[in-house]
Structure formats: C-alpha cells, structure tokens
Amino acid sequence: METIITHGIRISVDPQFEPLHSNPVHGKFLFSYHITIENLTNHTVQLLSRHWYIFDSIGIKREVIGDGVIGQQPVLEPNQLHKYSSWCPLTTAMGKMNGYYTMQRLDDRTTFDVEIPTFALTAPIQLN
C-alpha cells in the first residue's frame, strides 16, 4: 500500500492484479486499485476532479481527467474518510499510476491539489 499526505489529506492506494479478468496471452492485464481518502484537516472539503497519469512498461503514457471519482464528488467532514475502488487495463504486465485530486475547502471555496502517490501495477508473472 502506498500512502501520502498533502495539505492535510491522506491518500492511500492498494493495487491488485485481477487474473480472472486478464488474458496475458493477448496482452490484457487488468488491475484494480482501492483508494482511501482521509480528511485530517479542520475543514470540510469536497473532491471536485481527478487527474491520472498511467504508464506501462513499454513507455506508453495515458492521462485520465474527469469530474469526481466513480461518478461522485464526495464531501468529507474533518476526520472523515471516503473509500472507492476502480480499475485500469494495461497491455503489459507492469506499469504504474499516479496523479492528483483537485479539492475545495467548502468554508472559503479555496481549491487545492492533493497528490495521489505513485503505485506499481505488477502482474505476478513478472515477479518470477
């Protein structure tokens, strides 16, 4: 699990290879990732958008930009957390992801970016 704190928001990521939804012979490797967002500040915040960078092991870089996460723009009170899971397909057995969330303090409408730590996407066949 990878974890980082930015501006009082803790982001933890736990990635997993999904063998039942992958087909290595055809270059299909599916990974899930489970994210916990924790508000360690004294302010109520809302997650507005996400910006992902996805890299595979042959140098292909993709960007994913969008509103919220899995169709939600969660509001987190102080000491509250939000969990969600999503997935990422790769054509290689190894890769990595990182990025940031844009969030807003609801009391004064200040926006700020919260780093998503870099995490590895590695199929078990790469570990042998």
Identify whether the C-beta of residue 45 lies closer than 8 Å to the C-beta of residue 38: no
pLDDT of the residue at 128: 54
Assign 59 a pLDDT band (cuts: 50, 70, 90): confident
CATH class label, 2-123: mainly beta
Identify whether the C-beta of residue 74 lies closer than 8 Å to the C-beta of residue 37: yes
Sign of the alpha-carbon dihedral angle for 83, 65, 96, 41: negative
Q: Which amino acid is at 110?
A: T
pLDDT of the residue at 9: 98
pTM to 2 decimal places: 0.91
Mean pLDDT, the chain, as a whole number?
A: 95
Model pLDDT for residues 7-49, shown as the tens digit of each residue = 999 999 999 999 999 998 898 999 999 999 999 999 999 999 9
pLDDT of the residue at 126: 58
Instruction: Show me where the domains of the chain are located.
Output: 2-123
pLDDT of the residue at 125: 72
Share of the chain above pLDDT 70, in %: 98
Angle (CA) 127-10-60 rounded to 5° is 45
